[in-house]
A and B are shown apart, each in its own frame.
Chain A
């Protein structure tokens, strides 16, 4: 695959991700359902992994996780870098083996990413004895975030269709 094409492709992915980050800042951060705010990063990782595959998906997740760690407030240093990479790897492998790319594939990959992120968070909360409350919050967060797959999925499907070249 030509290098120039790869650079173009990932630039478009980066722009789409930037756009969704603004969407999170301007829209979803101001929506609260039963006191829970939608959290889109695991969804971004899941959907991109389902389209980019098990080679490029985890690399995207690594860079995206690193930016989340450096620009946000991670529960532990390097948390998102490690968890998102692992989640993208698992989600992409599952997507490649069990589903053909599409909404269902992205939904399953997203669910895996939320599950692994939640498990990692609970691992950190366990020593404080807050794992029970954390598990409930993680489940609520997943349910509240899930409708936004209807926004995130079409964005990356468009990017994928516009930038995909079969070699």
Chain B
């Protein structure tokens, strides 16, 4: 054993260490993805797309067979919801007109919200217990860069781009423990930080932390991105408050959020490559 470890075993371990250190150095010094990673991701991209398509197809058949009644009920509920939302929309249009008139009277800058979007398809949902990431089929070549927000067609926040390559990028979702986004409770304006948590990730939930002592979150409150610092756009829907908890110290409170987006049902997303917001 000693002879083995001093010869073959140590040689293999040394090679592994050199490879690991090289990868670390490449990752540390390179602002972009390493060449090898780019090659592997590009080569594996069609296979991942194929595997995802097969899984979606199989899931579709299963859903067709098992969820027909549930979908019929959901359809009826959605029709009711649309009717209510149409009324809200008409009211919102009237409010917008009134708001614009008042702004003109007060000589305020006109509100503006321009998001430059790049459409992308999810080629793989990297479903590990330790991270929650999505591989998208748009990368550097499409103007995507690290830190760009990823949203759904309805403006719900999916996550943030954490890595890019030529024709692919990795989106770290809102559930991942690496994600940390300035957030705001829509009803009260209380500021906090929405971030992933190990104990909640498995349940598909995240945490709203660092709330002020006088903050008063309530179950059902909508939580959106705060946009503070100008790093991420504001008003992107993160989720709703599901539980309000008190920290281990018995003083600070935090909220458990149910994300607005259903990550398992996503196939198409939009990357905000640039934005300009005046509020």
A residues near B, CB below 8 A? 22, 25-26, 29-30, 32, 34-37, 39, 54-55, 58-59, 62, 65-67, 69-73, 75-79, 81-82, 85-86, 89, 93, 97, 121, 125, 128, 130, 133-134, 136-137, 140-141
B23 and A78: CB pair below 8 A? yes
A78 and B133: CB pair below 8 A? no
A66 to B201, CA, bound (A): 26
A133 and B4: CB pair below 8 A? no
Cβ contacts B1-24/A at 8 Å (1 or 0 each): 100100011001101110111111
A137 to B199, CA, bound (A): 8
Q: Which of A26, A39, A81, A133 contacts B16 (CB 8 A)?
A: A81
* Interface SS of B by simple majority: helix
Q: What's the least CB distance linking B11 to chain A, in Å? A: 9
A141 and B36: CB pair below 8 A? no
| Most chain A beta-carbon neighbours within 10 Å: one of B36, B40, B133, B203 | B40
User: A73 to chain B: which residues have CB within 8 Å?
Assistant: 126, 128, 131, 133, 170
Given A29-B127, A37-B127, A85-B13, A55 and B20 contact (CB-CB distance below 8 Å)? no
B residues near A, CB below 8 A? 1, 4, 8-9, 12-13, 15-17, 19-24, 26-28, 34, 36-37, 40-41, 44, 48, 51-52, 54-55, 58-59, 124-131, 133, 170, 177, 197-199, 201-204
B20 and A54: CB pair below 8 A? no
A54 and B202: CB pair below 8 A? no
Known: A30-B55, A62-B19, A86-B13. 9 other contacts (CB 8 A): A25-B55, A26-B54, A76-B24, A77-B23, A78-B20, A78-B23, A81-B16, A82-B17, A89-B13
